[in-house]
Structure formats: C-alpha cells, structure tokens
Amino acid sequence: MTRRLYGDCTLRLLARAGLSFCSGLLGQAGKALAIRAAGVALAVLLAGPVSADPLVWALGDSLTAGYGLPPGQGFVPRLQAALRGAGVPATVANGGVSGDTAAQGRARLLWGLRGLGRTPDLVIVELGANDMLRGLPVAQTRANLAAILAELKRRHVAVLLAGMRASRNLGPDYVRAFDATYPALARQAGVPLYPFFLDGVAGRPALIQADGLHPNPAGVGVVVGRILPAVVRSLKAKPPA
C-alpha cells in the first residue's frame, strides 16, 4: 500500500466510477453479493426513499483506489453497482490514492471536494492503513483523521468512518493504540463507524491478491457486500449540524 511500492495513482481521483457491474461476476461470490443487495433493497423500500441521485465520495488509499484490479472491479464501481442494485441511484466517486497516509488524505481533502463539482451526500473516510504499515505514531494518524472529520462536519457533510486494524506483529502497545483510534474518533466526531474495512477478507488468502495486502475481485465483493448496509444507513441519516 505504500507509495514506494505501488506508485502514485493520483489520476484515479479524476475518474468517476460509472463502470458497469458484470452480471454473473465471480460465481458464488457474485450470487452472495446479489442476495445481500436484495436484502438492502428491501430495507430501503421499507424505510423510505433516499434523496435522488446522491453522491458518495470514497476518500481513501489503494483499498478504495482499486489497486491491482481490472477496470470495473475495484471498490468504487462495485459499491456504486451494489447501491443501484439496492434501489439507491447513487454515484460513487473515487477519492482513493495508492500509498496515501492520513496526512496525505488530509492535505488533498479540500481540493478533492472542489473537484467533485458539488457537495457530496456522503464521504466514506478510509485512511490509516499506510500509517500502520509504516509504523507511524498513532497520535499523528489520529490527529490527521480528526482534522478530516472536523472539516467535513464544518461543511455539514455526512461521513462513514471505515476503520482499520493493526498488524499483530507491530507489538501489543501499538496494536492496542491503533485499534482504539477509530472507535474513539467516531464517538468524538459523532459519525457512524464501520469497524474494519477488510472484515471477512483479512487473513483469507483466497480473497487477497498475491501481495498479501489487497483484496482480489472476490475479496472486493465481500468488502462491498458487508459495508453496503452501513453506506445505505449513512446516506439516509441527517448530515451533522
């Protein structure tokens, strides 16, 4: 996930994820995602409509940028397809840059928002994995994420904070401090938390690319299927005052 290893994917910021979702994708994984999407669609129908054509911005690193995946198979286009399949006519814009730390995400936050052309209805903040992989001080990561959340709150933009967990080989003190960061930030900022972006994928080699870090297409299907209900709920929630 580091910039040294993966290169600068800044151009991904300019691409809107309007790519189509391939029907029948991934066999059983695709069927599981379709079933989950159908369940979300029912929940949306019962709870009432989301505002028309919402805009979701995924602000993150290589996990949202779609590193190592064929066109249309990354998190952003797959989430957009899943939302539309669930009856939410959302556009999901790619704000993922491979290698970015929380500090780098903070540095490009304002011009990234300007580049969207309008205020997003929801920002998914998925940052911090590269801080952890580089062993950066947890306090530094927390301060940068807190600044991102504070700026989005100031602009009355709804947020879904996607958490990350530290690699267990970094030592108990670092793991404990890093893992506690996301729940603490969510409470402090008053935003919903999706506890672990790679839930259901981490530690499962069949769902991970050869680099041992990034989800393969089947893994992305699991990520999207699990986070989808939280995204729908966040879109329906009122933005922070």
pLDDT (tens digit, 9 = 90+) per residue, 153-166? 999 999 999 999 99
Could you tell me which CATH class the domain 3-236 is placed in? alpha beta
| pLDDT of 83 | 98
- Let me know if 156 is a catalytic residue: no
Q: Which residues contact 72 (CB under 8 A, 6 or more apart)?
A: 19, 20, 21, 22, 78
Q: Is 194 exposed, middle or buried (0-12, 13-18, 19+ CB in 10 A)?
A: buried
| pLDDT of 241 | 66
Q: Which residues contact 118 (CB under 8 A, 6 or more apart)?
A: 55
| pLDDT of 52 | 57
Strands (E), the chain: 55-60, 91-96, 122-126, 158-162, 193-194
The low-confidence residues of the chain, meaning pLDDT below 50, are: 1-51
> Annotated catalytic residue: which of 61, 62, 98, 121?
62
Domain boundaries, the chain: 3-236
Token duo for residue 122: 């929801």
Rounded to two decimals, the pTM is 0.79
131-149 residue pLDDT tens? 999 999 999 999 999 999 9
DSSP letters along 25-40, please? TTTHHHHHHHHHHHHH
Task: Provide long-range contacts, Cβ within 8 A and 24+ apart, for 23-26.
Answer: 25/217, 25/221, 26/217, 26/218, 26/221
> Annotated catalytic residue: which of 121, 131, 214, 234?
214
CB of 65 closer than 8 Å to CB of 12: yes
Q: Compute the distance between CA of residue 85 and CA of residue 11 in angstroms, rounded to an integer.
A: 27
| pLDDT of 17 | 32
Q: Compute the distance between CA of residue 62 and CA of residue 98 in angstroms, rounded to an integer.
A: 4
- Let me know if 211 is a catalytic residue: yes
Widest CA span of the chain, in angstroms?
47
